[in-house]
Amino acid sequence: MLPASALPRVTTNLLALLLLADAAGAQTAQEMKSESAVKGDTLQKMVSREFELYGPTTEELRAAGNELRTAIAHFQDHIGRRPKPMAFVLFRSAADAGRFDLKPFSRRHMQVVPWLLPASPGHGSAAGQPPPAPSASTYPLGHLAGHEFLIGYAEQIFAEAGKAGAGGTDADAGASGIKLPVPRHPECQAVPDWIDEAVATLCEGPLLQRIRMDFMRSHLEQRIPFAEFLEMRRPGAGGPDPGESGKAGGGAKGGAAKGSDAKSAGGSHAAGADREAIFCAEAFSLACFITHREDPRFFGKIVEGVLMGRTAGEVLNTSQDIHSKPEALEKQWLDWISQSPPAFSRPPCRTPRKTHRRFRCGTWGHTSASRSTRRAAARGARPPIATTCSSAFEAAPRSCAGTPCRSPTRPRSSPF
């Protein structure tokens, strides 16, 4: 038994040992946390004025960068504004996304957009298997970027109107951590779902856009009636199917009971085809129809008008060639899309600024006159064949009836 004089010394030593053990344990936990975090500087990086891109390999960065540049050019051509810069980060798995260190980005107030790469040989799929071919149910990085660009654009519009924060999502929301699962369709709460999906599909590459248009043509019997389509939620999103506004095009998304996106209020079904793919293709084809009856910026006017409190039908009333009532609009759209290919007649396009002349002009695949062509035409000489605004997927060049796309009198051919 210890003497009474030794008890204070023993108690002091025990307290000291406990404090050292706690400090060592805290240090070990901190080291494990820092080791498990995935930092941006450990990934390959591509930085431009328009976006930042991080990913595992250079090849994946190059492919993703091409998608993002296409999405930015198409968004600017239709909406009229360059999307705000964002950081897109490519991950192999959701676990990698959950461990990603967001502190360097939050200090710069840079929004982080995660993207899960599809399984590739050696990374979760059978070795030697080719990547799956794109289909109407494919939603690539450009589609996700279109959703995010629209959310950022809505925030800008609301901020200019003195209603900051009403755009649906906070630009710095990712600073506290990447939310899992990573969504395929981030929602802009301020616009109807068909506009949200139309903007996302307009930002996709031309190959997938043609696939969506062909899919819509082959599923016209399963189309969603416009009276329902213009008011419904995107299938799979939850929430109400038909909106509450009762006006063509609707305004912001409404709130009602869930579970009605498998069957409409009128009892119509999208039998024999995936309803989500039909909704996506129908939104894209309607945006194409509006764009070709007017011009790309007219669709941007619809988006801006809805964000400012109007309905899409009210903006369509300003058009001389497009009906605003759902039934009449559907008949116009159906006559247009049933043509093979549809005959387009709209004002000359505006080639995106600082875009190579072989880059696709807008979305439509017609030709763009080179500088030498325009000079030859100004001198009265016979112009050479115009350089084609085509994608890498087009084998042969297209022409606008043998004339440059600056000619206001010639109708354009369709890439669809």
pLDDT of residue 350: 44
* Helical ranges in 80-205 per DSSP H: 94-98, 103-107, 141-160, 193-202
pLDDT of residue 364: 41
pLDDT of residue 346: 42
**pTM summary value:** 0.69
- For residues 376-397, one letter each, b for 16 or more C-beta atoms within 10 angstroms of the residue's C-beta and e for the rest, the string is bbeeeeebeebbbbbbeebeee
pLDDT of residue 369: 46
What DSSP line would sit under 372-392, residue for residue? HHHHHHHTTPPPPPPEE---T
Other C-beta atoms closer than 10 Å to the C-beta of 294 total: 20
pLDDT of residue 243: 41
CA distances (Å), 401 to each of 191, 350, 409, in order? 38, 18, 11
**In a 3-state reduction of DSSP, which class is residue 132?**
coil
The DSSP secondary-structure symbol of 325 reads: S
Q: Does a cis peptide bond (omega within 30 degrees of 0) precede residue 352?
A: no
Q: Hey, what amino acid is at 34?
A: S
pLDDT of residue 344: 42
**In a 3-state reduction of DSSP, which class is residue 273?**
coil
Where is 88: in which H helix or E strand? strand 86-91
pLDDT of residue 339: 84
Q: Which two tokens stand for residue 33?
A: 């946390």
What does the pLDDT profile of the chain (416 residues) look like in tens digits?
545 555 555 455 655 655 555 555 544 444 444 445 566 568 899 999 999 999 999 999 999 999 999 999 999 999 999 999 999 999 999 888 888 988 999 999 999 999 999 876 555 444 445 667 889 999 999 999 999 999 999 999 999 888 755 444 444 444 456 877 878 888 898 999 999 999 999 999 999 999 999 999 999 999 999 999 999 999 876 544 444 443 345 555 654 333 344 444 334 444 434 899 999 999 999 999 999 899 889 999 999 999 999 999 999 999 989 999 999 999 999 999 998 565 444 444 444 444 444 333 344 433 344 455 555 555 555 444 443 333 333 333 333 333 344 334 334 445 55
Count of alpha carbons within 13 angstroms of residue 269, beta-carbon side: 3
Rg of the chain in Å (alpha carbons) = 27
Sequence-distant (6+) residues with CB within 8 A of 114 are 89, 91, 97, 100, 178, 182
Where is 52: in which H helix or E strand? strand 51-55
